[in-house]
């Protein structure tokens, strides 16, 4: 079973602002192909960058994607624009028999 861990971050357009963590969600799939199809259906052609992590030998391995797009919300009746990023990590999940 494949688990996608999706961490959502936002940032204002101000170059001095920093990413702020918003929330995390998880999606489960039978295989990587189904997970990638879900990503394509959900995020379409939004900007996508590979996400890497270093292993214990210092080599980088691709573990997912960072997908970014522009978004907005209304605060006190005023439209506020911001940048949103979804950090999507792939993990293999094994069910245990206890």
pLDDT in tens, 9-38: 999 999 899 999 999 999 999 999 999 999
Please list the helix, strand and coil fractions of the chain in percent, rounded to the nearest 5, in that order: 10, 60, 30
CA 13 distance to own-chain centroid: 19
- 85 has a pLDDT exceeding 90: yes
Could you report how far apart the first and last alpha carbons of the chain are, in Å? Answer: 18
pTM of the model: 0.85
Please tell me the predicted confidence (pLDDT) of residue 55. Answer: 87
Please tell me the predicted confidence (pLDDT) of residue 10. Answer: 96
Residue, of 28 and 55, whose pLDDT is higher: 28
User: What's the Cα-to-Cα distance from 77 to each of 44, 73, 80, rounded to whole Å?
Assistant: 29, 9, 9
pLDDT in tens, 34-51: 999 999 999 998 889 999
């Amino acid at each position: 079973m494949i688990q996608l861990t999706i961490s959502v971050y936002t940032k204002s357009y101000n170059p001095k602002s920093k990413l702020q963590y918003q929330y995390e969600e998880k999606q489960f799939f039978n295989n990587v192909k189904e997970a990638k199809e879900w990503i394509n259906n959900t995020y379409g052609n939004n900007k996508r960058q590979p996400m890497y992590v270093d292993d214990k030998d210092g080599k980088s391995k691709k573990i997912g994607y960072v997908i970014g797009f522009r978004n907005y919300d209304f605060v006190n009746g005023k439209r506020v624009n911001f940048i949103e990023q979804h950090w999507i990590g792939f993990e293999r999940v094994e069910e245990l028999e206890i």
